[in-house]
Chain A
Amino acid sequence: MADHHLDAVSAASLSGLTKRFPGFQLGPLDLVLEPGTVLALVGPNGAGKTTTLNCMAGLVVPDEGGTEVFGEPVHATRTEYRRNIGYVGEENGFFQGWTAARNLKFLADLLPGWSNDRAKRFVERFALPLDKPVNKLSRGNKTKLALVAAMAHGPRLLLLDEPTAGLDPVVRSEVLDVLWEITEDGEHAVLYSTHVLSDINRLADELAFLRDGRLVLRSGRDELSESWRQVSFRLANEDAELTGVVEHRRVRAEHQVITREAEATLQQLADLGAESIEVSRMTVDEIAVQILKEGHHVARAES
């Protein structure tokens, strides 16, 4: 019965989350993240990704709405929810003059649920040098330390703000592997923000696109891959309005379109008598670029 209850609880749920700054408003955001899911929060600089993660971690108090993590309300004055959260930001508050080992020792006494064995496993996996002061560590090693610190107390939700930014390909691959393994058991969830669109293909099974503080689109990676296509064709009728098309290039009768509703567009092209139809799949990062460009157009039109 207890297990059933645990299964029913979402890893994180945001309801009407709103935070206002001079000249910028995040939200209202509504988002649910199920256990076992890796959700990539994608958006350009200033879209509100970091603020969203900070609100979820309880570091920023929202003006309206709120967040629950595994059923526990997130509020700065409460501590219960924190045992379920591991957070990696750009700056993680470490004692810069202390070694990585001393920082981890301090955290071991600070964080309930900390496991030295788990910490040791991650340290070995990442080949993290423990004897150097944090301010002498490379950016990659600082990220590794932050990941070890975030995961050693066994949280069920990882909030990662640009975890792979500035990492070399080998380290990035290792970090993505570890994150993937963590979610394999179906009990853990990861929400991470990223600019590195190639990471999406590797890790995320869901994507949420943020633009100017608003959620533009939330979709599964496979659904996106199935519905978006690049189509080239010949069509004499130049005025034809095609369903789902987000980008249309035309040289006389030669057309090239990007559609987010491939099935409907292809059906329409068949009805219009288009010839030489060639359909090609798009990678998820190509689709992400299109969605963000489209969101940009929407925002510009509204402003």
Chain B
Amino acid sequence: MWHALRAELAYFRPYLLGGLGIASGVILLLSVLMRFSNDADGPPGFVVAIFPIIAGMVVSFICGSLRVEERRARLLLSGALTPRQLAWLTVLLPACFVGLSVLAVPPMIGVAALVAGKLEPASWPIAGSFALQFWAYAQLGPLGQESCAARRQNRGRAGLIGWAVFAGVILVLVACQLILRSTQGHLLQVMAVITAMGVAAMLYQGRTDFTR
């Protein structure tokens, strides 16, 4: 499974680098504008932090749809991978893209601070909350795909469970943004994301058609 995961990450590396490049461009532009508008505070640190994470999330969506379009499951199931391993590969990819994009946050904040002259201190709880939200959206991609696949393959109950969890995760995310902007809220979001990953993996394993 790790061999396949490494291959998928290598295959989508140009997409991730492209996404991070676009995010860097936006941050640079924002920083330059802030500098010349004599804004004393500079761009908000948490805004700078979320651009690369958004890039990671978008790349995870592109990855999900391209893997379906290229029928990757067919290739991987010709080898020694089991559907369970393939399921975990599918749900781990978005986490990897978001995780790798988080690594790009510190250098981008540094560059923005250099260009703008000054950076409004990042509110890390807010930045963390947004990061968790985008990770959750990224993980909802495979969950949505598997819920649709379950309905298409006449696994009605599995499809319903998938969509129920999908809706539940969205509700948790909204509640955490509105009410629980705290460590407990973050923990709740992490639990929601892990639940989404687990249910997506279970639905994948229960597939009756691996041709897509």
- A111 to B4 Cα, complex, angstroms: 11
> Is the CB–CB distance between B79 and A60 below 8 Å?
no
Report the minimal beta-carbon distance from B205 to chain A, rounded to whole angstroms.
8
Which residues 134-167 in B have Cβ within 8 Å of A in the complex?
154
Q: Which of A60, A106, A111 lies in contact with B7, CB distance below 8 A?
A: A106
> Is the CB–CB distance between A77 and B82 below 8 Å?
yes
> Is the CB–CB distance between A110 and B83 below 8 Å?
no
Report the minimal beta-carbon distance from B115 to chain A, rounded to whole angstroms.
33
Stretch of A86-94, A190-198, A224-232, A265-273 that contacts chain B: A86-94
> Is the CB–CB distance between B211 and A54 below 8 Å?
yes
Q: Which residues of A contact B92 (CB under 8 A)?
A: none
- A82 to B79 Cα, complex, angstroms: 7
Report the minimal beta-carbon distance from B137 to chain A, rounded to whole angstroms.
25
B74 at the interface (CB under 8 A from A): yes
Q: Which residues of B contact A54 (CB under 8 A)?
A: 209, 211
Stretch of A31-39, A95-103, A163-171 that contacts chain B: A95-103
Which residues 61-92 in A have Cβ within 8 Å of B in the complex?
61, 76-79, 82, 85, 87, 89, 91-92
B208 at the interface (CB under 8 A from A): yes
Supposing A60-B208, A60-B211, A92-B71 touch, asked if A82 and B80 sit within 8 A by C-beta, the answer is: yes
> Is the CB–CB distance between A110 and B77 below 8 Å?
no
Supposing A76-B83, A79-B80, A111-B80 touch, asked if A94 and B75 sit within 8 A by C-beta, the answer is: yes
- A103 to B79 Cα, complex, angstroms: 13
> Is the CB–CB distance between B70 and A93 below 8 Å?
yes
Report the minimal beta-carbon distance from B79 to chain A, rounded to whole angstroms.
4
Supposing A54-B211, A95-B70, A96-B70 touch, asked if A76 and B11 sit within 8 A by C-beta, the answer is: no
- A157 to B83 Cα, complex, angstroms: 22
Q: Which residues of B contact A96 (CB under 8 A)?
A: 70
Q: Which of B7, B76, B77 lies in contact with A76, CB distance below 8 A?
A: B77
- A97 to B18 Cα, complex, angstroms: 15
Q: Would you mind naming 29 contact pairs between A and B with Cβ atoms under 8 Å apart?
A: A54-B209, A58-B77, A58-B210, A59-B73, A59-B74, A59-B209, A59-B210, A60-B209, A60-B211, A76-B77, A76-B210, A77-B82, A77-B83, A79-B79, A79-B81, A79-B82, A82-B78, A82-B80, A92-B71, A93-B73, A93-B74, A93-B75, A93-B76, A107-B75, A107-B78, A110-B76, A110-B78, A110-B79, A110-B81
Q: Rank and list the top 3 A-B pairs by shortest CB-CB distance, nearest first.
A: A93-B75, A110-B79, A93-B74
